[in-house]
Amino acid sequence: MKVMAQMGMVMNLDKCIGCHTCSVTCKQAWTNRTGVEYVWFNNVETRPGLGYPRTYEDQETWRGGWERTRRGRLRLKGGGRFKKLASIFSNPKLPSLDDYYEPWTYEYDTLISAPLGEHTPVAQPKSLITGKPMKIEWSANWDDDLGGGPEVISEDPVLVKIRDQVADRVKLDFENAFMFYLPRICEHCLNPSCVASCPSGAMYKRAEDGIVLVDQDRCRGWRMCVSGCPYKKVYFNHKTGKAEKCTFCYPRVEVGMPTVCSETCVGRLRYLGLFLYDADRVLEAASVEDEQDLYRAQLDLMLDPHDPEVIAAAQRDGIPSDWLTAAQKSPVYRLAKEFEVALPLHPEYRTMPMVWYIPPLSPVVDALVETGHDGEDARNLFGAIDSLRIPKEYLAELFTAGDTDVIDTVLRKLAAMRSTMRDVNLGREVDVSAAEAVGFDESTVYELYRLLAIAKYEERYVIPAAHSEQAHELEELGCSLDFDEGPGMYGSGPFGEASGMPVPVAVENFHALKQRQTSEAVLDTGNKRGRVNLLNWDGKGAPAGVFPPDPGKGS
Amino acid sequence: MNSTQILLWDVLPYVTIAVFVVGMLWRFRYDKFGWTTRSSQLYERSLLRIASPLFHLGMLAVVAGHVVGLLIPESWTNAVGVSEHFYHLNAVALGAVAGAATLVGVAMLVYRRRTTGPVFAATTKNDKTMYVFLLAAICLGLVATMTGAGVLGDGYNYRETVSVWFRSIFILQPQGELMADTPLAFRVHALAGMALFMVWPFTRLVHAFSAPLGYLFRPYVVYRTRSASTAGNRTPRPGWDRTNA
Ligand code: HEM
Ligand code: SF4
Ligand code: SF4
C-alpha cells in the first residue's frame, strides 16, 4: 500500500441553478487573456445537450481516455506511444476551434462614436481570432436550457447511446423535456490520460495533492494532451502555443482557500477536501474488465482515514499530520465513500476522475407535487424514481457506465433523507422505514442532511494549507525583468508575442489589483491589467476592484 | 584562395556553429516559454493534415540524406561494395522523392499561412523571416541536387569536394579551397544553409531540437513533487533561484 493524498471535489447537482457564476469567476481569474478567449476551465452544461466542446463525450470520434485491451492491459484509446509520435505533425483527433466556438467581441465603440443619424447604431460582432465581422453561430453554452430544441439536443452523445432503451420515455418536445445542469472542471484524475499523452513530459500530477498541471516551460506545443483527455479539459492557447488547463486554483488551495468556482458558487453546492488513496492499486482498479465495476473499483481505492493501518501507512509515506486530520474531516470522502451518494463522471473513460457528483433528484419531487402527490413522501418518491423525468438510464450513462442500480440506490438515499427530515421538521413521529430501506439509521440521515443542507464554509471546504515547512517556497517568485514593460511582463518577449516568461500568478495579481484600483477609467479595455482578478479574493467583502471607486469619498 | 573565399569557407562555418550553439543555449536558458511549435492546427486542419506530415517526413528524409551524403566518406561506401553509380542512382531517386515531398509540403504550408485568415493573422514577422530562410535553403538545395544529378549541366560528384570540406570543418582542419571551385549551385546552397542555421535559434524552428523521443521510454503518468526549484508551474529563471534565506 502506498498512501497518497488527493484534493477532490463533490458537486451536488440538485442545487445547481445554472447561473454560470462559477464559469464567469473562473474565467476572470484564469482565462481572460488573448489566446484562451474560447477557454472555460469551468463550464456549466445543460444536460441533455451537446456539451463543450460539442459532443466531446463521443469517444468513438474523439478517442480520449483509456481502453482495456483484450489481454487486460490499459492502452490510450487514441493510440500508444509510437502512434502518437507518428501522428505528431498533424494531430488527427484535435478538436478545431469550431468544435468549441469562435470567440468574439462587439464593436461597442460604434454605439457612442457613430454620427447622428436616422438609425440606431449597432455594435457588430467581431471575431477575436481574425478581427473581422462575423456571424455568431455557436458558443460555449449555445444549447443552454435546451436552447436549439430537439434538433440540436438529440445529438447529445449520451442520449444517442441510450436512445434505443428509453425511446418511449425520452421526450424532447417542450412540455415533456427534462434537463439539469452539469458544471464541469478538470477531474484531476488518478490515472490521467492527458499526462500519459504528453510527449514531452510537461504535464504532471503533483505528488502532494494530486493536482494535475502543465509545466509552461516544458510544454512544446505537441497538443496531444488535448486529444488525450476524454473530458476535453486541456486547452490549447493559440497565442502562446502551449497547453493550459484547470489548475484547481493551486495558489489558493495551497494557502487553504477554496477554488474560485467553489468560493463563488451561488448554490453552495461544491465541497472540497482530501482523499487518501492507494497509489499502488490505481492501475489495477482502472483496468477492471467490466466497465460497470469501475465505480466500485474507484471507490475501493479510497482509504479510510480513520483506519489505524491506513494512518500508520500514511505517516510512513510522508503525509503530514495536519493533512491526515483534514482527510478525516473531508466532506468529499464522507459523501463519496461513507454515504456513497457521490458518483464519478464517466468512469468508463478509466481515468479515475476525482470530481464527484450527487445526481439530481429534485425534478422528481416537483413532478410528484404537480400531479397532486405528496412529493416528499418516501413511498411516492421511491415509486417515482422509476419513472423519473430525467431517465435513470441517462444518469447512469453519465455516472456509472450505465448501471442503473447504483443510480437507483443513490436517488433512494436522497429521497429517504428528504422524507425523514420532513418528519423531523414537521415535528411528526419519525418514520425510519425509508431510511432503513437504504441502510441508513436516523443519525446517518441527519449527518447527510447536515452536510448537504446546512454545512457551513469550514465544513464544505476542508483544505489543509501546504505544509508550513514548505510555505515559503510556494509563493511564486517574480524577478526584476517581470515588472512593467520588461520582457517577461504581459507580452512580447524577444521572439514575438509568445516568447518570454509566463507571468507568475502572484505578480499578475499584484499588478491587476494595483492597476484596477488606481486607474481613472471604469473599464480600461485596452489594458489587460485593468481587469478584476478574483484569484486572491477570500470571500470576505467585495473583491477589490469589482466596483469603481466611490466618487463621493474622493481619492 | 582569395580572402573572400577564406572568409566564406573557412571562417563562416565556425561563425555559424558558434551562433547556432550559443543561440540555442541562450534561448533555452532564457526563453523556455517561447520554445514551442506554436501549432496552428486549432485554426485550420484540413490543409495542415496533408501539408505538415508531407513537409516534415520529406524534411526528415532530406536530413537523413544530408547525413549520409556529407558525413559518410565515399571511400567507406566504396569499401562495402556500393559502386558510385549505384549510390548515385539511389541518392537521386530517394532524394527526388524526399525533395519533392518537402517542396510540395512547404509550398502548401506557405499557401495555408497566406490564405487562411486566422493562420495569417497569427503569423508573426519572425515566422515570415524564418520562411524566407527556409525556402531559400530548400529551393537552392533542389537546384544543387539537380546540378549534381546532371539534370542541370553535366552532373557533379559533390562527395569528392563538398562532403570532404564539410567534414574538414568538424575535425578543425577546414579545407575551404575544396569549396572554391564547386559549381555555383552548391556554394549558394551551402551559404543559404549556414544562414538558416544562424537564424534557427531565434525562430520557431527550435522545436525540431526538442523532438520528444523520451516519450518512448518514460512511464505514462508523471508525478512531481513541489520543490524549491519549481514553485507553482514555473521554474525560476537562471540567477533567480530560491535561497533559503
Ligand atoms: C522531428 C522533429 C520535428 C517534429 C516532431 C516537428 C513537429 C512539428 C509540429 C507538431 C508542428 C506544428 C504543426 C501545427 O499543428 O501547426 C510543426 C511545425 C513546423 N515545423 Fe516541425 N517538427 C520537427 C522538425 C522540423 C524541422 C527539421 C523543420 C525544418 C527544417 C521543421 C519546420 C517546421 C515549420 C516551418 C513549421 C510551421 C508550419 C506552419 O504552421 O506553417 N520542423 N512541427
Ligand atoms: S480531466 Fe483533467 S486530469 Fe483527467 S485527463 Fe482530463 S485534463 Fe487530465
Ligand atoms: S455557480 Fe454554482 S449554482 Fe451557479 S452554475 Fe456554477 S455550480 Fe451551478
Identify how many contiguous H helices and E strands chain B contains and give both numbers.
10, 1
- What is the tens place of the pLDDT at every residue in A100-137? 999 999 999 999 899 988 989 999 999 999 989 999 99
Per the model's pLDDT, the better-predicted residue between A169 and A286 turns out to be A286
**pLDDT, average across residues A42-64:** 95
The domain tally of chain B equals 1
In a domain, B245, yes or no: no
pLDDT confidence band for A488 (50 / 70 / 90): very low
In a domain, B119, yes or no: yes
Report pLDDT for A380.
76
**Whether residue A385 has pLDDT greater than 80:** no
A240 lines ligand 2 (CB under 6 A): no
In a domain, B184, yes or no: yes
Three-state DSSP string of A290-348: CHHHHHHHHHHHECCCCCHHHHHHHHHCCCCHHHHHHHHCCHHHHHHHHCCCCEECCHH
For B231, the 3-state DSSP assignment is strand
Report pLDDT for A533.
65
Report pLDDT for A151.
86
**ipTM at complex level:** 0.89
Above pLDDT 70, what percent of chain A?
82
Cα first-last separation, chain B: 61
CA atoms of A456 and A131, how far apart (whole Å): 46
In a domain, B139, yes or no: yes
pTM of the model: 0.88
Instruction: Name the CA dihedral angle for A145, A149, A155, A160, rounded to a multiple of 10 degrees.
Output: 90
In a domain, B233, yes or no: no
Closest CB from A76, A219, A505 relative to B36: A219
List for chain B the helix, strand, coil content (%; round to 5): 70, 0, 30
Q: Rg of chain A's alpha carbons, rounded to an integer?
A: 24
In a domain, B110, yes or no: yes
At B224, give phi and psi (nearest 5°).
Answer: -135, 145
In a domain, B200, yes or no: yes
| Contact residues on chain B for A195, CB-CB shorter than 8 A | 220-222
Reported as type and span, the H/E element at residue A161 is helix A157-162
**pLDDT, average across residues A181-193:** 97
Q: Domain residues for B164?
A: 3-215
- DSSP codes, A516-544: HHH-SSS--TT-GGGS---TT--SSSSPT
Where are the strands (E) in chain B, listed by range? Answer: 223-224
Average pLDDT of the residues of chain B: 88
Report pLDDT for B42.
94
- What is the tens place of the pLDDT at every residue in A389-415? 778 889 999 999 999 999 989 998 998
Residue A470 burial (CB count, 10 A): 17
Highest mean predicted confidence (pLDDT) among A527-541, B64-78, B195-209:
B195-209
Highest mean predicted confidence (pLDDT) among A467-471, A481-485, B69-73, B224-228:
B69-73
Report pLDDT for A499.
55
* Interstrand relation of A3-12 and A355-358 (parallel, antiparallel or unpaired): parallel
pLDDT confidence band for A540 (50 / 70 / 90): confident
CA atoms of A159 and A152, how far apart (whole Å): 12
Which residues surround ligand 1 with Cβ inside 6 Å? A 88-89, 222; B 37, 39-41, 48, 52, 56, 59-60, 109, 113, 134, 205, 207-208, 211
- In the structure grid, which three cell numbers stand for residue A293, read together? 465495476
For A273, the 3-state DSSP assignment is strand
Report pLDDT for B87.
85
Per the model's pLDDT, the better-predicted residue between A271 and B2 turns out to be A271
Distance A205 CA to ligand 2 centre (A): 10
Residue of B nearest to A501 (CA): B33
CATH number of domain containing B70: 1.20.950.20
Report pLDDT for A497.
47
**Whether residue A510 has pLDDT greater than 60:** no
Per the model's pLDDT, the better-predicted residue between A387 and A33 turns out to be A33
Report pLDDT for B89.
84
In a domain, B75, yes or no: yes
- What is the tens place of the pLDDT at every residue in A199-248? 999 999 999 999 999 999 999 999 999 999 999 999 999 999 999 999 99
Report pLDDT for A541.
74
Report the range of poorest mean pLDDT among A157-166, A319-328, B166-175. A157-166
- CA B152-B158-B65 angle, to 5 degrees, is 95
Cβ separation A498–B36 shorter than 8 A: yes
Residue B108 at interface with chain A, using a CB cutoff of 8 Å: no
